[in-house]
Structure 1
């Protein structure tokens, strides 16, 4: 039953949830900032319309879901775009060290098996002055919402493809060795608070020269 659900229901559930207006508005805050050689974690996400293709030299991506990967490939073809999308997980990226100027992660770290390892992999493949652009939902700052997240998460993970509700976002990125700009966050409109806390921003490698411009 679990395998059937994961194959047939979860991709549709993710596709519906991840294209809600509030979610798409948050994607639009960070994806257009990507530049140079770009890697997208969870490339089955509907981000193609938000890239500034005048700034993006190349786009690569990994996604573990065959269904979402196929959907992304069809979207590329329909728009006449090319990208190096492949099956894979964020915790074991099939790319050489220092391959990318930008890593993009949108509503992905909630469902990876090991978010810390995924962030370490993002560090590994980024060039010295590269950037991590993120918009992710996670642990809510409001105690009441956080309490509901803790109650609901065990069931939610089972029905939503391993999606976690309580994971920290900006703090996890900092703990992996990134320097984050002042974090930004809000509760998405028309979304239950236990599901709707989102943080977004830009992070660079610790020790990087933040004054140096990105390749563009």
Structure 2
């Protein structure tokens, strides 16, 4: 199991609940941090996120050297990374909520509004099935808790690790190498979510 988990505090995450969930699955050392030096020393990195794409990206960008530290540790040194909800959406090339805003660009794609219809409610809120793609890391079939109005439209279907159904397929998780992001909230998904976090702590990416 990982020695040090960096849980990024950039003013846009459900930190208390994620921290408690990590403790519940036995994470031995959790650093809730906005310090790039701590990120550079972490064995695992988790980026939560709640709110609008642009506000979250602005909050992350406002921390001096944080994105550089994340890119060093995740992209170049390939430590395992988990993005949650908007933390997953920030992996995209851009988001189009209230204008066009650049994301981290780690997994090509665009974050778009879910199209409403008479039988489709937006936001997508509540429990829904998670259907993993063949060979997807960490993701199991089960039910998870979702709360979002925008979805990750990946440029390459191979990066979609799981989907859910909300008037058609909606990305539930993306993955590429040592990077995984989930649209649902594992910290609110009871046994299913705790199982995902436990697997993340033990994950050795191929």
- More helix as a share of residues: 1
Q: What TM-score comes out, normalization by structure 2 length?
A: 0.36
Which of structures 1 and 2 has the bigger CA Rg? 1
Q: What TM-score comes out, normalization by structure 1 length?
A: 0.35
